[in-house]
A and B are shown apart, each in its own frame.
Chain A
Amino acid sequence: MFDVVVIGGGSTGTAVARDCAMRGLKTLLIERDDIASATVGTCAGMISSGLKYMDEPEIVDLCSQEVVYFNKIARHIIMKNPILTPIFGMSDLSSGGNFAEEYSKRAAKRQVPPVLFLTPEDSLKIEPMLNPDLIASLYFEEYFINPFRLCILQAQDASVHGAEIRTYCEVVDIRLSNNEVKSVVFYDRVSGKKEEVSTRIIVNATGPWAERIAGLAGTNVELRLNKGAHVILDRRVVNVGVIAKAVDGRMIYLFPHESTVLLGTTAIDTWEDPDTLVTSHDEIEYLLKSMEWVVPSIRKARIIRTMEGVRPLIAEWKIPEGEVTRGYKIIDHSDEGVSGLLSFTGGKLVMCRRMAEDVTDVICKKLDIQATCETHIRPLPGNDSDIDVVSLAKEYKVSQHVVERMRTRRGTKTRDVLELVRDHPEWRTTICVCEPVIEAEIRYSIRNEYPRTINDLRRRLRVGTGPCQGTNCTYKIAAILSEELNLGIAETLIEMTRFLSERWKGKRPPFRGDLLAQEELVQAIYSCVGNLDREAIHEPNPWEEGL
């Protein structure tokens, strides 16, 4: 008997599992796919002060506070980036002023400078790629977090505190007795077996799927689902973030990230099955066209891929998406006559810890447990102290660049990974050259972070996310995964085509330029030489229906 079953392993669900476990509740987290496999993995990772939500000061306050906490508990997976908002017309200048005021009020607390107004000359000094017609720009700084690592670390910390984490398990039923939740039935996709667990409370943290899960208990949730797409470009077109007005007056952004830039995002109300969505041609052109005015060189960069997600917004209608509150709601379904089931609507990545705190407070009250929240004080795994990249690199004879990249994923746990090369010097070999990632970290991740597929490793390690999109490393990673997990042979080959298919999902919508050459190479390696087009046909993914 569990105290709490959390359904959904995104930012919200993993945060809830962590909080519940830390407060001593017997907790189970059930995720139908991998941790961070859905919405959270498609977001920009900005843990923002809320530029877009200046009309909701309480949300701005909340977000600012959360940033302060994240800086305490997860600083190894956080980066601060400067952002410019170029201004081309007088009307934008005044709205800029309002923003500057709200932002600056909270700046000191967040350890960022207040908003600066820059002249065109100074703006261009900071970012020479801007359209020189600007009349001024706003300069400020925002924090970004690695959303995958955040979820993985939250889940790991939850299990350190006694929670059970079950990935690849899909909830298929919620059973009630006397209008009270009694148990959760789920299907284990790896073993192929159905299981039932009893629980006192269920937290429905399934983001865009919340309506469906609520429906399993005969209850209702209403969401406003809104699709957002990103285009990822292969070089740092800009070296600072740029926020600009799109063709329709919405705000869009261009954020440098490692050696790439992220261009986003669109906002389209959707009623589609989120699993089948892909970015459309129109979305890509909308983003490029809009940013081209501000950063004229944008089309010179090569598109690496697109990615898309669905925002599970609170159901406010007849207003543009941008005006829908960014707040969240916890729905206690006892109002509908079913007790023990709590659902989330709305929210954002940046609020996930706070959302968890609120819902756990409600749970503790229901279960009559006295325990206070500590998720904002206790560090996530790897954040206990600083590490010295230079000396680690020397000690283990691994390049500094590799160790530095490792540090941004796992902080003090970097040493645990490097320890593996003592017995296996060959595991210093770089497997994913784009990122780069060495074999030791792949083995470590497989042994400690419960991935089942190459795609899961991508989320944990960024393998296969660079310009080559796994062309050169997929077969190598498949072999390692196969050895570590003892996969069958057919499964190993299919794992290669499955991962490359997932990559193809994001390469197909913007298919142009170098992407054609790259796909010719993928086909040459895996079909022409590897013969996998004849020997490893996988079950179609949801977005692949119809040839």
Chain B
Amino acid sequence: MDLEPDVLVIGGGMAGLVAGTVAAQDGLDVLLIRRGQGSTAMSSGAIDICGYMRGATVHFESPIEAIQTITRVHPLHPYSIIAYDEGGIVPEKSIKYIKDATNWLKKQLARSIAAIEGDLSRNLMQLTQIGTTKPTCFVQGSMVHPGLYDNDSRPLFVGIRGHSDFNAAITANTFLQYRMDIDMAPRIVLNEMIDLSPHGRHHNIASIEIARFLDTEEGLEKITSILKNEVKRTGATHVVLPAVLGIERAIDNAKHLSKETQATVFETLAFPPSVPGLRLQMALDRIFQASGGTLILGHKAVSGVFKGETLVEVKASGPKRKISIRPKAAVLATGKFISEGLLGSQKGVREPLFGLVTVTGEFYDASEEYPRRHTRPIPFTNRGHDIFQFGVPVDENLRPVDYNGRAKAENLFAAGAIIAGYDFSSEKSGLGVALTTGYVAGEKVIRNIRSDI
């Protein structure tokens, strides 16, 4: 099969879908191929912009502050690269892009199953599944918890029997301990275990099963009556749940439950398999398709053909067929190691699809850098492992470059976790960088095709 779209997007996580949607909304014919789910679907579903500087122990109060610092200190960070203007970095340019991208996303996701709240002026300290808190910027509507940190707050942590992801007692106490350490409210936490067995089973209950159950009338009624009783019995002001409030109806369910129980009912940030991550992924897929984009699932891009400085063809293979795609321009958004956008052997790190140049966090050639040498003996430090800054280097137009800093092809752009120069785990910046670079790549592609630059 031969296809000739305007734009080919390879990889369908946050970065690829945003780039594709932006281009499709401009009227371009966009084809996105995706091998499978990547990091986006596994994520907690809350969008980090930037929580920490690598090496810092204190988090940024706001993403704006973070960008101002990063653009000064890390000139090759993706947030800095997009701020290049006439040879220098203009932090405001980066901030503007991030503002545009997040405003755009907020609008796109509004009324979707993953509608988000939050703004760039502050980082939220969001409660996680294990009771810690982490800085993030935008959370889904089912995760907001106004008043949780007020003096009279009495959160009730509710676990579900047989759902081992969430231990309400330990999570509650971890949270309380943390608040006590910084001498802040709440000073009381409660916890309870409830029976919700979606299939009459009391063990091996997965988050997704509960979420599906709560999408049904029966499930919602059941949890409503249980939580009503619990709140009445305990006088709780908030009900803290694992992220299981529904796939299609989580936000409505949270609202409904809050109204019925008279307490704020919300979800914590989840570890994979994460229902909110799935909601985000599904919402992005739908928006892309609603914007006119074509999604081809289960297909892996396997090679590219370049003519001079142009990418002319990408070959892909699916379960039953091989396809050839000849786009006008392409966006590479294949993620990092998890999604196999990058591969590492004992001898070095490479980009398997186009054989693009890969670099270390210090922007040296990574093709012959033993991965082990770019890790630390201690896995959890505020500096992360340098290996996770490895990636593909790009120019200010987000075009992957060769060793001389020249674009590999004038019509090939990159977005998301495949880009070098940042460590999302250490910085808490994953979906933010993917969103922003995806948004910028989308605009660059439009300009590339419309005005042929």
Alpha-carbon distance between A516 and B349 when the two chains are bound, in angstroms: 10
Whether the Cβ atoms of B378 and A511 lie closer than 8 Å is no
Residues of B within 8 A of A476 (CB): 164-165, 167
Whether the Cβ atoms of A537 and B380 lie closer than 8 Å is yes
Q: What is the interface residue range for chain B against chain A?
A: 35 or more
* Additional A-B contacts beyond A438-B203, A501-B378 (18; CB < 8 A): A476-B165, A482-B170, A483-B170, A492-B174, A511-B372, A512-B345, A513-B343, A516-B387, A519-B385, A524-B430, A528-B134, A528-B428, A531-B133, A532-B132, A532-B380, A534-B59, A544-B377, A547-B377
* Stretch of A18-26, A403-411, A425-433 with 4 or more beta carbons under 8 angstroms from chain B: A425-433
Residues of A within 8 A of B337 (CB): 516-517, 520
For the complex formed, measure the closest distance between the CB of A104 and the CB atoms of chain B, giving whole angstroms: 42
With A519-B385, A531-B133 given, is the CB distance from A545 to B377 under 8 Å? yes
Residues of A within 8 A of B271 (CB): 475, 525, 529-530
The interface bits of chain B over 134-163 (1 if a CB of A lies within 8 angstroms of the residue's CB, else 0) are: 100000000000000000000000000110
Q: Which A244-266 residues have C-beta < 8 A from chain B? A: none
Whether the Cβ atoms of A533 and B425 lie closer than 8 Å is yes
Check if A192 is an interface residue, CB within 8 A of chain B.
no
Alpha-carbon distance between A532 and B425 when the two chains are bound, in angstroms: 10
Whether the Cβ atoms of A529 and B269 lie closer than 8 Å is yes
Contact with A526, one of B52, B380, B387 (Cβ below 8 angstroms): B380
For the complex formed, measure the closest distance between the CB of B188 and the CB atoms of chain A, giving whole angstroms: 16
Q: Which A394-449 residues have C-beta < 8 A from chain B? A: 425-431, 438-439
Residues of A within 8 A of B272 (CB): 472, 521, 525
Residue of A nearest to B125 (CB): A531
Whether the Cβ atoms of A527 and B426 lie closer than 8 Å is yes
Alpha-carbon distance between A476 and B376 when the two chains are bound, in angstroms: 25
Alpha-carbon distance between A526 and B59 when the two chains are bound, in angstroms: 17
20 A-B residue contacts at CB 8 Å? A425-B202, A426-B203, A429-B162, A476-B164, A476-B165, A479-B167, A489-B178, A500-B379, A513-B343, A516-B342, A519-B379, A520-B388, A522-B379, A525-B272, A528-B48, A530-B129, A533-B380, A533-B381, A533-B384, A533-B425
Check if A508 is an interface residue, CB within 8 A of chain B.
yes
For the complex formed, measure the closest distance between the CB of B172 and the CB atoms of chain A, giving whole angstroms: 10
Whether the Cβ atoms of B384 and A429 lie closer than 8 Å is no
Alpha-carbon distance between A427 and B378 when the two chains are bound, in angstroms: 33
The interface bits of chain B over 342-370 (1 if a CB of A lies within 8 angstroms of the residue's CB, else 0) are: 11111001000000000000000000001
Alpha-carbon distance between A520 and B388 when the two chains are bound, in angstroms: 7
Check if A209 is an interface residue, CB within 8 A of chain B.
no
Check if A490 is an interface residue, CB within 8 A of chain B.
yes
Residues of B within 8 A of A56 (CB): none
With A490-B177, A530-B271, A531-B134 given, is the CB distance from A520 to B380 under 8 Å? no
With A500-B380, A529-B271, A530-B128 given, is the CB distance from A483 to B169 under 8 Å? yes
Contact with A531, one of B132, B165, B270, B342 (Cβ below 8 angstroms): B132
For the complex formed, measure the closest distance between the CB of A258 and the CB atoms of chain B, giving whole angstroms: 21
For the complex formed, measure the closest distance between the CB of B119 and the CB atoms of chain A, giving whole angstroms: 21
Whether the Cβ atoms of A429 and B203 lie closer than 8 Å is yes
List residues of chain B with CB under 8 Å of any chain A CB: 39, 42-44, 48, 52, 57, 59, 128-134, 161-162, 164-165, 167, 169-171, 173-174, 177-178, 202-205, 269-272, 336-338, 340, 342-346, 349, 370-372, 375-385, 387-388, 424-426, 428, 430
Alpha-carbon distance between A271 and B101 when the two chains are bound, in angstroms: 58
Whether the Cβ atoms of B346 and A510 lie closer than 8 Å is yes
Whether the Cβ atoms of A508 and B426 lie closer than 8 Å is no
Alpha-carbon distance between A472 and B272 when the two chains are bound, in angstroms: 8
Check if A535 is an interface residue, CB within 8 A of chain B.
yes
Residues of B within 8 A of A483 (CB): 167, 169-170
Whether the Cβ atoms of B164 and A429 lie closer than 8 Å is yes
Residue of A nearest to B48 (CB): A528
Chain A interface residue count, CB cutoff 8 Å, equals 62
Contact with A535, one of B129, B132, B338, B343 (Cβ below 8 angstroms): B132
Interface centre among A425, A428, A534 (most CB of B within 10 A): A534
For the complex formed, measure the closest distance between the CB of A261 and the CB atoms of chain B, giving whole angstroms: 19
With A489-B174, A508-B375, A519-B385 given, is the CB distance from A527 to B425 under 8 Å? yes
Residues of A within 8 A of B162 (CB): 425-426, 428-429
Contact with B202, one of A426, A438, A504, A511 (Cβ below 8 angstroms): A426
Residue of A nearest to B373 (CB): A511
Check if A327 is an interface residue, CB within 8 A of chain B.
no
Residue of B nearest to A509 (CB): B372
Residues of B within 8 A of A430 (CB): 204
Residues of A within 8 A of B375 (CB): 508, 511, 519
Closest 9 CB pairs of A and B: A479-B167, A428-B203, A531-B134, A523-B425, A489-B177, A528-B425, A426-B162, A512-B346, A517-B337
With A429-B204, A489-B177 given, is the CB distance from A527 to B169 under 8 Å? no
For the complex formed, measure the closest distance between the CB of A509 and the CB atoms of chain B, giving whole angstroms: 7
Residues of B within 8 A of A480 (CB): 167
Whether the Cβ atoms of A523 and B269 lie closer than 8 Å is no
